[in-house]
Chain A
């Protein structure tokens, strides 16, 4: 793997030197920003292993390629807080930050009778189940949650973390409204937790707005204090089919978002003579408890303004003079030796991933914005941002079956076990603890980047 990355970086350097001039260019432009150029150190060259071909069964083979298979990463954890199986969080003040871990899987199925014969449907892919552990890998809750999400949101180009976890469970008793799942909110340190009572959620700064079957709630993410409203208080349908349709509409049509102007809670009575733009939309302002009506057109305008600030800037890439100027989040960067066309995929801190096109191929590239240099190109990249450490970004790259995580100096710090099916890995980083989950749930790990060791690892696949 080390040799592979040496080749990568070397290829990047060579390509940087050989990249074709953009049409109409005539060499370095006078208007290029004056940026310092730093070249990464050329990694030591490893001798290329010559093949040792022979023939076996009429086919050319190289038996010398066998061996060298790495041992599986063993399961690791920090023990248990409670000796018995724990299917709920016992709130307390001493856990420290709680970290979700993937610890169990289940294959959903359905059986039904059709014309006297039992039919069955089985999901090919498993559903993951999560538990909670301490920062040291000590198990606090066994894997009973269908999802655990440490809350974060993006605002005006910056990532913000809230000190709460959103926990999701499924139960037949919740089948009536929604898909059969409910959410709860817990303090990230485990000091408080709500019931599993919420259908959906959004936030405005550190306040959460949550939908319940009976009404809505504003919850302070710092303290857990809350204020509840019933649907009746907000002049909304309180039950039955009408409530179900309204809640579906809020979640899946208008979307649940808390703007400066309030939260849109669906339409009033439908009028076939009214166009979408003129339809009155109900807006609830949680800060004051006020409910008022605006035309959908007005809400859509407010939402567009909010959306520009809430979601990631797609950036603008203008190619010129053998490079491209990237403008994103109000800043401009000159990227050197870009390919002919491309777009920004993601920008985090001083790194940007571009999706570029060259000779009919899509090429993923990683750039350092402060120097404008292309650092790598390859199959896939991620930029892993630490929720709690500003400007702590770890690039990760996927090549030939495995992900490697790099530090800011592009030194490899961790190579994950190989994925199956060229799979994507979900990364998360908090206060130096990197967690990752293979997309099919084959493995989950928590690696302390400061100490350079695993504090938790689970091999979840059971073979097939």
Chain B
């Protein structure tokens, strides 16, 4: 009798084990024992945690809508953030737009510092905001991909390439006509960006590097709160226009907006040229969180994942240039 009961107990235990859920329940952090959530592969070495069998490991971290960190960043990283949410939540990209409400580069860093965002995917902020970030010593900013500052003109502009020196001279006002750089006899309109834009920070840091910028094309705005103010005009893609933006955005919108992306010093911006360091104006995209984020928190887990092979692979798939050498 005792043997029968023992056999029944063992059989019961086996059955229960076989019937238990394979995947963790929604909404739970199933990491056991408070172990660090940082996968060994976060440094890019090894392949721990990789399982392509069609099922997640039982100790895989599960992201849900409830525990997903609040994301913010530059507009050019919003598509990557959507892809991250889609793969981590198992939803179509069209269904995760509500989780990616990006407030642009400088504002996103302010939101992080004010506690309105948990994790940023963003370009470098304006110098004064960067100084504020660094002064507090409370934030972790780590490059996860490389961005490039690209120059754009109307697709019908016959000019295909500029040298660095030509770009500088256009923006100091020394070169004023497209004919001076191989184009038509047309006064150049060298548009700039607003000070909060990541591409303006890149432009002033990488291209002008201390040279005195000419005044940008401006207009006037007026409202009852601020009164009359001068305003920097955005690039308008007219025949005489020259502007700049970031590589990912230009690549995505080139056809839709009728833009042409220029080569600089004969090098056309591409993922290959950026990865090889051949294109002259490169700058990182950062993933940023609070240093105090606990090791097993969703914020820290996501931060590590973005820097690990999973996140790096996803960045490559989505057309970004990850900092590690992975295949998309």
Complex interface: chain B residues within 8 A of A463 (CB): 74-76, 199, 245-246, 248-250, 253
Complex interface: chain B residues within 8 A of A105 (CB): 233-234
- Judge whether B230 and A110 touch: CB under 8 Å: yes
Bitwise interface map of B from 306 to 322 toward A, beta carbon under 8 Å scored 1, else 0: 00111101100110000
Complex interface: chain A residues within 8 A of B56 (CB): 53-55, 60-61
Q: How many chain A residues touch B (Cβ–Cβ < 8 Å)?
A: 66
State whether A56 and B310 are in contact (beta carbons under 8 Å apart), knowing that A171-B220, A180-B222, A463-B246 are contacts in the complex: yes
A324 to B223, CA, bound (A): 42
A346 to B126, CA, bound (A): 43
- Judge whether B93 and A420 touch: CB under 8 Å: no
Chain B interface residue count: which class? 35 or more
A181 at interface, CB cutoff 8 A: yes
- Judge whether B256 and A106 touch: CB under 8 Å: no
Taking the closest CB of chain A, its distance from the CB of B297, in whole angstroms, is 13
Among B12-20, B103-111, B132-140, B206-214, which stretch is in contact with chain A? B103-111
In the complex, the number of residue pairs spanning A and B with C-beta atoms less than 8 Å apart equals 252
State whether A400 and B94 are in contact (beta carbons under 8 Å apart), knowing that A57-B41, A126-B234, A462-B235 are contacts in the complex: yes
Complex interface: chain B residues within 8 A of A363 (CB): none
Chain B positions 220-273 with a Cβ under 8 Å from a chain A Cβ: 220-224, 226-236, 238, 243, 245-246, 248-250, 252-253, 255-258
Which one of A58, A67, A75, A459 lies within 8 Å of B48 (CB-CB)?
A: A58
Complex interface: chain B residues within 8 A of A109 (CB): 194-195, 229-232
Bitwise interface map of B from 179 to 214 toward A, beta carbon under 8 Å scored 1, else 0: 000000000000001111111000000000000000
- Judge whether A175 and B228 touch: CB under 8 Å: yes
- Judge whether A170 and B88 touch: CB under 8 Å: no
Complex interface: chain B residues within 8 A of A402 (CB): 94, 97
A17 to B138, CA, bound (A): 53
State whether A63 and B87 are in contact (beta carbons under 8 Å apart), knowing that A4-B95, A459-B256, A463-B75 are contacts in the complex: yes
State whether A464 and B104 are in contact (beta carbons under 8 Å apart), knowing that A53-B54, A170-B222 are contacts in the complex: yes
A62 at interface, CB cutoff 8 A: yes
A48 to B223, CA, bound (A): 49
Taking the closest CB of chain B, its distance from the CB of A383, in whole angstroms, is 22
A171 to B78, CA, bound (A): 36
A52 at interface, CB cutoff 8 A: yes
Complex interface: chain B residues within 8 A of A127 (CB): 221, 223, 231
State whether A123 and B220 are in contact (beta carbons under 8 Å apart), knowing that A63-B87, A104-B236, A108-B226 are contacts in the complex: no
Complex interface: chain B residues within 8 A of A459 (CB): 253, 256-257
- Judge whether B78 and A146 touch: CB under 8 Å: no
A461 at interface, CB cutoff 8 A: yes
Complex interface: chain A residues within 8 A of B314 (CB): 66
B174 at interface, CB cutoff 8 A: no
Task: Pick from A181, A419, A463 the residue with the most CB of B within 10 Å.
Answer: A463
State whether A420 and B78 are in contact (beta carbons under 8 Å apart), knowing that A74-B256, A75-B256, A104-B233 are contacts in the complex: yes
Complex interface: chain A residues within 8 A of B101 (CB): 420-422
Bitwise interface map of B from 123 to 163 toward A, beta carbon under 8 Å scored 1, else 0: 10000000000000000000000000000000000000000
User: Given A59-B88, A109-B230, A123-B231, list of 16 further CB < 8 A pairs?
Assistant: A54-B55, A56-B313, A58-B57, A60-B23, A62-B90, A65-B93, A69-B82, A72-B256, A174-B222, A400-B96, A420-B78, A422-B98, A459-B256, A462-B197, A463-B199, A463-B253
Closest 5 CB pairs of A and B: A401-B97, A463-B249, A180-B228, A58-B39, A107-B194
Interface of B toward A, CB cutoff 8 Å: 23-24, 37-39, 41-42, 48-57, 59-63, 74-76, 78-79, 82-83, 86-88, 90-98, 100-107, 123, 193-199, 218-224, 226-236, 238, 243, 245-246, 248-250, 252-253, 255-258, 301, 304-305, 308-311, 313-314, 317-318
What would 14 A/B residue contacts be, using CB atoms closer than 8 Å?
A53-B90, A54-B51, A57-B42, A59-B61, A75-B257, A107-B234, A123-B226, A170-B221, A170-B222, A180-B220, A401-B100, A421-B101, A422-B98, A463-B253
Interface of A toward B, CB cutoff 8 Å: 1, 4, 49, 51-63, 65-75, 85, 103-110, 120, 122-124, 126-127, 129, 146, 170-172, 174-175, 179-181, 400-402, 418-422, 459-464
